[in-house]
Amino acid sequence: MTKKPVNTRLIAAIIIADWLKTGNFPDRALSRVTNDRAFITELVYGSVRRKESLKWCINQFIGKDQEWFILSCLMVGTYQLIFMDNVETYAAINETVEAVKTENPHAAGFVNGVLRNCQRKTDELKDGLRMQPLAIRESHPEILVQRWTRNFGAEKCADLCTFNNNRPETIIIPNILKTTIDDYLALLKENDIDARLHPLFPDICIILPRGISPAKLPGFDDGLFSVQDPSTLNSIALLDPQPGETVLDACAAPGGKAILIAQKVGVNGNVIAMDLHEDRLAILEENAKRMDTDNISIVQGDASSGISIKKANNSEKYHKILLDVPCTNTGVLRRRPDARWRFSEKRLKELAILQDSMLNSASQFLAPGGTLVYSTCSLEPEEGEQLIEKWLKTHSEFELKKQVFTWPPETGSDGTFAASIVRK
């Protein structure tokens, strides 16, 4: 008997419906998808990213709210028709309607009618969207549009919103202990993979062509490269780890920065890679093992707890500390499209309190003359320069050495803030 193919639109719609209803992270559901993962990921992330634009389009044809699953199917179908050029119209509509039949057969005719209208009026919908306010046109919450307009100006805000709706590139960094960037580029070329250098760090970072999984690249199992955005290298540069040093990466998972630090401190150095969550520690351990970094010690601990940090290195002080704190993620909305819908002033204030607490705890264990790098993937000044300025006013034994802010549309990378603080 021939096995019936899986309806990819159905899987995407179920994930989106769960996100709409509960706020559960879509990436966790996507991690369990095995077949047609790239296409399903595009449907899910694209629909989440374009939620407000899609709802505006759908509302041109319906007059009332729909239950979660029906709305998610309408979003999946409309996303294909409006924003995906590589999907046949008949497949976008028919397969989405079949997905509806699986869960709610009585609604199939309704969904079919809405999507047929959308198909007939695609050009009108696209023209209409271009005339909408930025929050609808580029599908961002109004609170972020207002904040960014106030902080950066209307033009830069619009550029940022447009940038956030681009599909992110996958960036790899060759393992300097095993290969060079030129040798690894040659290896990719031998395997007919047309990669290119990233303009922000062309001596370190390689941009992969779209649709290629890093796990399928030559040398993945041998640890010839790690995967991470080039903006993360700013915090490593500020930290400036040296051979033989003991370094704490206080929020280390999934381990990209810890691996780069371990390469720099060498066999006589030591990296304490700490993280709070057990499931993320497993990923960290897997990545460290793949990259053959034997000088990384992985421990579970809370970076806001001085006790955890003290235990991690048997009460000894650290030469360097990297504190990559949890944040609102407003600098990485390309990669985490659902994060834009979780932003609130309340959550921003709560995170700033946590970040301050983590800075207080970690700084206690920095050796005299040592460097602590505080970093976030946030664009909000309350989590970056304002927090550091306020903290230094009450900690006179420390001084600011340098800070770096990356603006995504200008750098083509994630948005980050990093500050190096030295104990006098």
Tokens of 384: 């970056």
Has 377 been annotated as catalytic? yes
> CA separation (Å) from 392 to 250, 320, 360, 421?
20, 18, 11, 9
Q: How many CB atoms lie within 10 A of CB 313?
A: 18
* Residue 263 and residue 176 in contact, taking contact as beta carbons nearer than 8 Å: yes
Nearest CA-CA partner of 373 in 406, 332, 401:
401
- Give yes or no for a contact between 80 and 87, defined as CB atoms under 8 angstroms apart: yes
The residues annotated with a catalytic role in the active site are 377
